[in-house]
Amino acid sequence: MKADDLSSNSLEGDPPSYIGFIFPYSMSLNVPGNSLQGGIPSSMCQTGQLQILDVFSNRFVGELPEQLMRCQSLSYLQLSNNSLRGQFLSSFSVARNNLSSMTPEQKNQFATFVRVSYEGNCFLCGLPLGSCSGLKGSPTLPPSEHQEDSFMITFIWSFAGSYAVAFFVTVFFLYLDSYYRTLFFDFILVQDSLL
């Protein structure tokens, strides 16, 4: 997979109308966080291989290109924080994937999604699909990176805290009792002489 990531590169101005031909083998084109303006070029999807298009947080205006809406290979489209207008997709489907959990609440745009939009996902439940109560157990999903990161951070802090407590208890103990302090420093001197 060829992915072109131009995120947050301070790109400005109108993208060239032939941008789709500059990246002919691109399956992913990411340009979020720039200052691109004008319309989204219709050549973006003419190669037929583009699966991911992310133009989040630019200054795009105008109509969405018809070619983009007909791009069958496109599986992820992020258009947020622009000033686009016009017709959008007439249908939405995540059918025949490996999705799990509950479907989104049936309000706003999700109220328009019909049962066939979700079918073929064994562990997906909720409206307009069946109830989740019939499942004998939730599917086990691999831990997300966020969960793994929070575990590692907790482990490091507890590890460091344990050592800090042990260190300060030892120092405090040696400070209070002169007999053990003398014994400890004699032990260190013996160790140094052996080395």
Residue 71 CB burial class (10 angstroms; 0-12, 13-18, ≥19): buried
Q: What is the dihedral of CA 109, 115, 116, 120, to 10 degrees?
A: 110
Supply angle C-alpha 22, 90, 70, rounded to 5: 25
- The answer to which of 13-22, 55-64, 74-83, 172-181 has the lowest mean pLDDT is 172-181
Instruction: Please state whether the peptide bond connecting residue 142 to the residue before it is cis, i.e. omega within 30 degrees of 0.
Output: no
pLDDT at 19 over 60: yes
118-163: per-residue pLDDT in tens? 777 777 888 888 777 655 544 444 555 555 677 888 889 999 999 9
Distance, CA of 45 to CA of 72 (rounded, Å): 9
Domain boundaries, the chain: 1-89, 91-141, 145-194
Which own/partner pairs from 91-97 qualify as long-range (CB within 8 Å, at least 24 positions apart)? 91/117, 92/117, 93/117, 93/118, 94/118, 94/121, 95/119, 95/120, 95/121, 96/120, 96/121, 97/121
What average pLDDT is seen over the chain? Answer: 79
Architecture of domain 1-89: Alpha-Beta Horseshoe (3.80)
Distance, CA of 67 to CA of 43 (rounded, Å): 8
Beta bridge partners of 140: none
Distance, CA of 25 to CA of 27 (rounded, Å): 6
- pLDDT (mean) for 6-14: 90
C-beta of residue 29 within 8 angstroms of C-beta of residue 4: yes
- The helix or strand, by DSSP H or E, that contains position 156, with its residue range, turns out to be helix 145-176
Residue 67 CB burial class (10 angstroms; 0-12, 13-18, ≥19): middle
